[in-house]
C-alpha cells in the first residue's frame, strides 16, 4: 500500500489539481487545515482481493479522494481537476504495474466543520477509484 500511495501522491506533483488545493493533499485525515484540501484514504474497502483465486499476483484496491471546500463551485472545480488527472491514468508503482485506475463512485456531501469555535458549512466530494495492479 505504501508504494501505491506514494505513486498516487507523486502523480499529483506539479498538477493543476494540486495547485487548486494549494498543495494540501493528505494521506489519511487531517485537522486544523485551511480550505480547500483533499485527503486520500487507501484502501476504502476490506483488504485487497485478488482478481483470480488462482493468481495472487493481481490486486484490486478501492481508494477514496475526499475533497473539502467552503464553496460548491470550488469543490466542483477541484473535482474536475482530480478526474482529469486520475481517470484512466498511468503511473509507475515500485514493485507493481498499474493495470487500471477507474472512477467508480462520486458523492457530494454537505457537512458542518468546527473551525476556531465556529461551525461552518463545507462541501465534501468523496470520489472512489478502483485500482487494479499486478506484481512486476
Grade residue 117 by pLDDT with cuts at 50, 70 and 90.
confident
Q: What percent of the chain has pLDDT over 70?
A: 90
How far is 117 from 79, CA to CA, in rounded Å?
Answer: 28
Are 18 and 48 contacting, i.e. CB atoms less than 8 angstroms apart? no
Q: Tens digit of pLDDT for each residue in 59-113? A: 888 999 999 999 999 999 999 999 999 999 999 999 999 999 999 999 999 999 9
Domains of the chain, residue spans = 2-135
pLDDT at residue 42 in the model? 76
pLDDT at residue 11 in the model? 97
> Mean pLDDT, the chain, as a whole number?
90
pLDDT at residue 30 in the model? 84
Grade residue 53 by pLDDT with cuts at 50, 70 and 90.
low
CATH number for the domain formed by residue range(s) 2-135:
3.30.2000.10
Task: Say which DSSP state 122 is in.
Answer: E
Per-residue DSSP letters for 18-72?
Answer: HHHTTT-EEES---S-PSSEEEEES-SSSS-B-SBTTBTTEEEEEEEEEEEESSH
Are 57 and 134 contacting, i.e. CB atoms less than 8 angstroms apart? yes
Roughly what angle, to the nearest 10 degrees, separates helices 72-86 and 2-12?
110
pLDDT at residue 51 in the model? 53
pLDDT at residue 123 in the model? 97
Are 91 and 7 contacting, i.e. CB atoms less than 8 angstroms apart? yes
Closest CA to 70 of 35, 112, 40: 35
Amino acid at each position: 500500500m505504501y508504494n501505491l500511495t506514494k505513486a498516487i501522491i507523486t502523480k499529483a506533483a506539479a498538477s493543476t489539481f494540486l495547485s487548486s488545493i494549494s498543495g494540501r493533499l493528505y494521506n489519511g485525515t487531517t485537522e486544523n487545515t485551511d480550505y480547500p484540501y483533499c485527503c486520500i484514504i487507501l484502501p476504502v474497502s476490506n483488504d485487497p482481493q485478488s482478481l483470480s483465486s488462482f493468481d495472487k499476483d493481481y490486486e484490486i484496491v478501492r481508494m477514496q479522494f475526499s475533497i473539502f471546500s467552503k464553496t460548491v463551485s470550488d469543490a466542483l472545480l477541484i473535482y474536475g481537476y482530480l478526474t482529469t488527472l486520475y481517470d484512466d491514468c498511468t503511473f509507475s508503482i515500485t514493485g507493481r504495474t498499474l493495470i487500471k485506475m477507474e472512477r467508480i463512485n462520486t458523492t457530494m456531501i454537505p457537512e458542518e466543520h468546527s473551525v476556531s469555535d465556529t461551525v461552518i458549512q463545507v462541501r465534501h466530494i468523496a470520489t472512489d477509484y478502483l485500482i487494479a495492479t499486478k506484481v512486476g
